[in-house]
């Protein structure tokens, strides 16, 4: 929004926009859209299914209808096509896990002033939310988002001549999966924490890539690369922003150690312009890292270039790819 666009009305609309955010979060958390995927239903029917309060359920359904996520006809509510496509739990394009991840972050954001004054993350947990539920929403949310973007990234990345790729901190291996699908001679190793293994192995099997992909238990802060100098390419996606500058540099050095001479390193992240005021998403994501991590932040292109140079990379360049949230990719050669 330009400076001239700000006025009391636009400022108050922005200030109150959390009303819609919380309404969406509650609809997803209570699985309203999944319940309505079976067909139109009355508020009383949904209230019974949810074991809720009729007044509260009606208020939520009417607000979701006003937001054009539901359609109300007479006394029945139904999903809109968008809600059916993106907010029903079994839908292929479901984004509800990421919405729940955002929901779990809200208490931290509400206490942002504490982090701004202390420079430390807030100690935040939501009542009744287990660590497993938060982990599931994060991993599944990352999987959903990566599944939508990975096919385009795979086409943008030049992996010609590469036989072996390391997905460094790759979670369930979503990007590596699509790199293998796009490059038939490629094999991939996914390095991540042991808690990620069951989900990664299930995801790899879903794509029939058990013979071309492997998972290695790996803590990138404390473990050394199991096979230094063994890989033709290393992919690091959305890892650096969770680290302070010193640790981010150490991770780039560690990832570079996995490469053969002439190997390629790719860093995918929310990359700030050097003035650090754009893109907007990357600037706001730095606040997300402020309230949630001890030292994490969005990095500028110059900062990532310097990390690559310090790790011994050459021929560093920014690829033309731009993700849906304006993420970008820098690559270098060992």
Q: What is the pLDDT of residues 241-292, one digit of tens each?
A: 999 999 999 999 999 999 999 999 999 999 999 999 999 999 999 999 999 9
Q: What is the pLDDT of residues 50-72, one digit of tens each?
A: 999 999 999 999 999 999 999 99
CATH number at residue 43: 1.10.10.10
Q: Is residue 168 part of a domain?
A: yes
**Per-residue model confidence (pLDDT) at position 73:** 97
HEC states along 72-120? EECCEEEECHHHHHHCCCCCCCCCHHHHHHHHHHHHHHHCHHHHHHHCC
Q: Which of 87, 106, 136 is the last residue of a domain?
A: 87
Number of domains in the chain: 2
Catalytic residue flag (residue 101) = no
**Per-residue model confidence (pLDDT) at position 43:** 98
Domain check: are 171 and 287 in the same one? Answer: yes
What is the average pLDDT value for the chain, to the nearest integer? Answer: 95
- What is this structure's pTM? 0.91
Closest CA to 229 of 257, 191, 252: 257
Q: Is residue 133 part of a domain?
A: no
- Gap between the Cα atoms of 133 and 141, Å rounded: 12
What residues make up the domain containing 40?
Answer: 3-87
**Per-residue model confidence (pLDDT) at position 148:** 87
Residue 106 CB partners (closer than 8 Å, separation 6+):
22, 25
Identify the active-site residue in 103, 178, 241, 268.
241
Q: Is residue 93 part of a domain?
A: no
Domain check: are 319 and 181 in the same one? Answer: yes
Domain check: are 171 and 83 in the same one? Answer: no
Q: What is the pLDDT of residues 125-156, one digit of tens each?
A: 655 556 777 878 888 888 888 888 999 999 99
Q: Is residue 134 part of a domain?
A: no
Q: Which of 41, 60, 87 is the last residue of a domain?
A: 87
Rounded mean pLDDT, 115-121: 97
Rounded mean pLDDT, 90-114: 94
CATH number at residue 154: 3.40.50.150
Token pair 């926009």: residue = 17
């Amino acid at each position: 929004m330009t400076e001239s666009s700000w006025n009391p009305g636009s400022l108050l609309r922005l200030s109150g926009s959390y009303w819609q955010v919380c309404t969406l979060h509650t609809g997803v958390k209570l699985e309203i859209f999944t319940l309505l995927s079976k067909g139109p239903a009355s508020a009383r029917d949904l209230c019974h299914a949810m074991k809720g309060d009729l007044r509260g359920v009606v208020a939520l359904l009417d607000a979701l209808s006003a937001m054009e996520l539901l359609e109300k006809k007479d006394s029945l509510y139904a999903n809109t096509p968008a809600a059916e496509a993106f907010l029903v739990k079994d839908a292929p394009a479901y984004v509800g896990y990421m919405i729940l991840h955002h929901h779990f972050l809200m208490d931290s954001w509400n206490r942002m002033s504490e982090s701004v004054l202390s420079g430390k993350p807030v100690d935040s947990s939501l009542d009744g939310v287990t660590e497993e539920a938060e982990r599931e929403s994060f991993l599944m949310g990352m999987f959903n988002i990566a599944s939508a973007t990975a096919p385009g990234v795979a086409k943008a990345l030049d992996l010609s001549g590469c036989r072996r790729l390391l997905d460094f901190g790759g979670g369930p291996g979503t990007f590596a999966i699509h790199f293998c699908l796009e490059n038939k001679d490629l094999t991939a190793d996914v390095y991540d924490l042991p808690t990620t293994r069951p989900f990664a192995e299930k995801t790899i099997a879903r794509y029939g890539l058990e013979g071309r992909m492997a998972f290695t238990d790996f803590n990138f802060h404390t473990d050394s690369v199991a096979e230094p100098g063994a890989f033709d390419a290393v992919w690091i996606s959305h890892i650096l922003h969770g680290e302070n500058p010193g640790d981010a540099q150490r991770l780039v050095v560690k990832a570079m150690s996995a490469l053969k001479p002439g190997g390629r390193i790719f860093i995918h992240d929310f990359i700030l312009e050097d003035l650090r005021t754009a893109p907007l998403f990357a600037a706001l994501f730095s606040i997300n890292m402020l309230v949630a991590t001890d030292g994490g932040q969005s990095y500028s292109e110059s900062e990532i270039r310097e990390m690559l140079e310090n790790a011994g990379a050459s021929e560093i360049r920014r690829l033309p790819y731009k993700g849906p949230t304006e993420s970008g990719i820098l690559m270098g050669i060992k």
